[in-house]
């Protein structure tokens, strides 16, 4: 029988990559989109299907994970074989500004989907988009599936709730429900306000005289960055495993934000020199123009200083490992950005 996936958060970075991956695998893909006053399906342009076409393998539904009725109605109507919950207010810094909404969407949203699965069909498999932000102020290095959580933001706390409620419904109702604990993953489709996209886009525009300066926050936090295209494969593999389980997905390597900036600048042949310390640290180009400054607005009330994962379990059980390294990721992001500028 043809498999049918339902993706909450289909319009996001991972939603777009996962949709394309599942369509290639022969799935019919249903996605949930929010009503918006401006177009929010840009990442789906190449797979979008005319709603009046007779046969469609990609179908969109209006809904919202903060709205129980829409969640239940869509699941009842679609009757998917697999549900991927990627829907979230996913920006850590913004979660300090809108903590209540973040909790509603990122924590209770997961509960709403799980409840609907119990009501509609307990055989529906479920993937929950957990995050390395749950490790927060890390209690060990590197982090694996057994590392205790210590979240540092309303976003991280909400994701911890979702992790436990997913595990609880797995144990209580015997659902095939899995938690992916994914470390940062980026791509050309990354949201504009995440640091990698900001740096790549900013430096590409500076190189092409479209922008003079880039403002950033903490340059010294360390992240384990992978490519979103690799990570959606791991989500799917979790739901094809014999038993439901939880998996850390990462590259095992970490870099500071400053190192990431230096690598991007080198690729773009911008020679940068750093001067100053703390909030006064600045980057200058070969003509002594200041092109990067730090600004208080991009620092967070509490920071996650270091993240580095261990994907041994996923490697052993799911036969998953990342295919793209940081250099591949940067090359992909830069060539996308340069194409955008030349358009
Ligand atoms: P993203 O680009 O921000 O996409 C989030 C998606 O969720 C968008 O489609 C967004 O819709 C949707 N959404 C937000 N609030 C919603 C609501 N109330 N109801 C329904 N949909 C809602 O995030 P991403 O990078 O693809 O990440 C996907 C998931 O993985 C998220 O849950 C994120 O927290 C988690 N995660 C991401 C990473 C990472 O590094 N990327 C790492 C670990 C975990 P709009 O387009 O309408 O805003
Ligand atoms: N966004 C942003 N903007 N971050 C900055 C900036 C800036 O101008 N300057 C420095 N940073 C630092 C942040 O303080 C953080 O330490 C690091 O760059 C990464 O920030 P983000 O790219 O916003 O990602 P994140 O690590 O906070 O969260 C992402 O990864 C999580 C997985 O660990 C998001 O995708 C989350 O949804 C995801 O769960």
Ligand 1, atom nearest to 132 Cα: 43
pLDDT at 164: 99
The CA 217 to ligand 2 mean position distance, Å, reads: 10
pLDDT at 2: 84
**What is the DSSP track for 20-58?**
HHHHHTT-EEEEEE---SS---GGGTTT---TT-SS-SE
Q: Please, which residues have CB within 8 angstroms of residue 283's CB and are 6 or more apart in sequence?
A: 261, 265, 272, 273, 274, 290, 291, 292
Domains of the chain listed by start with CATH number:
4-188+226-252+304-323 (3.40.50.720)
pLDDT at 294: 98
pLDDT at 52: 85
The CA 190 to ligand 2 mean position distance, Å, reads: 12
Q: Residue of the nearest CA to atom 37 in ligand 2?
A: 90
Ligand 1, atom nearest to 130 Cα: 44
The CA 209 to ligand 1 mean position distance, Å, reads: 32
pLDDT at 232: 99
Ligand 2, atom nearest to 219 Cα: 10
pLDDT in tens, the chain (343 residues): 789 999 999 999 999 999 999 999 999 999 999 999 999 999 999 998 788 888 899 999 999 999 999 999 999 999 999 999 999 999 999 999 999 999 999 999 999 999 999 999 999 999 999 999 999 999 999 999 999 999 999 999 999 999 999 999 999 999 999 999 999 999 999 999 999 999 999 999 999 999 999 999 999 999 999 999 999 999 999 999 999 999 999 999 999 999 999 999 999 999 999 999 999 999 999 999 999 999 999 999 999 999 999 999 999 999 999 999 999 999 999 999 999 999 8
Ligand 1, atom nearest to 40 Cα: 46
Q: Nearest 5°: CA angle at 181, between 179 and 187? A: 120
Helix, strand or coil, per DSSP, at residue 338: helix
Q: Which ligand is nearest to the CA of 193?
A: 2
Q: Which ligand is nearest to the CA of 182?
A: 1
Q: How many CB atoms lie within 10 A of CB 294?
A: 19
Judged on CB neighbours under 10 Å (0-12, 13-18, 19+), 134 is buried
CB of 5 within 6 A of ligand 2: the answer is no
pLDDT at 111: 99
The CA 280 to ligand 1 mean position distance, Å, reads: 33
With a Cβ cut-off of 6 Å, ligand 1 is lined by: 8-15, 32, 34, 36, 40, 64-66, 86-90, 105, 129, 131, 182, 184-185, 191
Q: Which ligand is nearest to the CA of 256?
A: 2
Q: Residue of the nearest CA to atom 28 in ligand 1?
A: 86
pLDDT at 183: 99
């Amino acid at each position: 029988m043809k498999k049918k996936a339902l993706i909450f958060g289909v319009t996001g970075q991972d939603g777009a990559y996962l949709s394309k991956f599942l369509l290639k695998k022969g799935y019919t893909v249903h996605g949930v989109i929010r009503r918006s006053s401006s177009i929010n399906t840009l990442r789906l342009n190449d797979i979008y299907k005319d709603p009046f076409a007779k046969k469609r393998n990609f179908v969109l539904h209006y809904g919202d994970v903060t709205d129980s009725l829409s969640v239940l109605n869509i699941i009842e109507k679609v009757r998917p074989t697999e549900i991927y919950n990627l829907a979230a207010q996913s920006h850590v810094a913004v979660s300090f500004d809108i903590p209540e909404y973040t909790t509603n969407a990122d924590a209770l949203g997961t509960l709403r989907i799980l409840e609907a699965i119990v009501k509609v069909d307990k055989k529906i498999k479920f993937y929950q988009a957990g995050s390395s932000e749950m490790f927060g102020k890390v209690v060990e290095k590197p982090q694996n599936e057994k590392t205790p959580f210590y979240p540092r933001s309303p976003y991280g706390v909400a994701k911890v709730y979702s992790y436990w409620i997913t595990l609880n419904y797995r144990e209580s109702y015997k659902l095939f429900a899995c938690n992916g604990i994914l470390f940062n993953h980026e791509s050309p489709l990354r949201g504009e306000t995440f640091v990698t996209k900001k740096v790549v886009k900013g430096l590409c525009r500076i190189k092409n005289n479209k922008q003079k300066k880039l403002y950033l926050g903490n340059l010294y936090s360390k992240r384990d960055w992978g490519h979103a295209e690799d990570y959606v494969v791991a989500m799917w593999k979790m739901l094809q495993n014999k038993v439901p389980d939880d998996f850390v997905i990462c590259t095992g390597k970490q870099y500071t934000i400053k190192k990431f900036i230096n690598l991007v600048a080198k690729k773009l042949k911008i020679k940068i020199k750093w001067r100053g310390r703390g909030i006064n640290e600045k980057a200058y180009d070969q003509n002594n123009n200041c092109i990067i400054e730090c600004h208080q607005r991009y620092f967070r009330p509490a920071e996650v200083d270091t993240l580095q994962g261990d994907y041994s379990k996923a490697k052993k059980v799911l036969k998953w490992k990342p295919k793209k390294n940081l250099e591949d990721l940067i090359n992909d992001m830069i060539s996308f950005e340069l194409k955008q500028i030349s358009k």
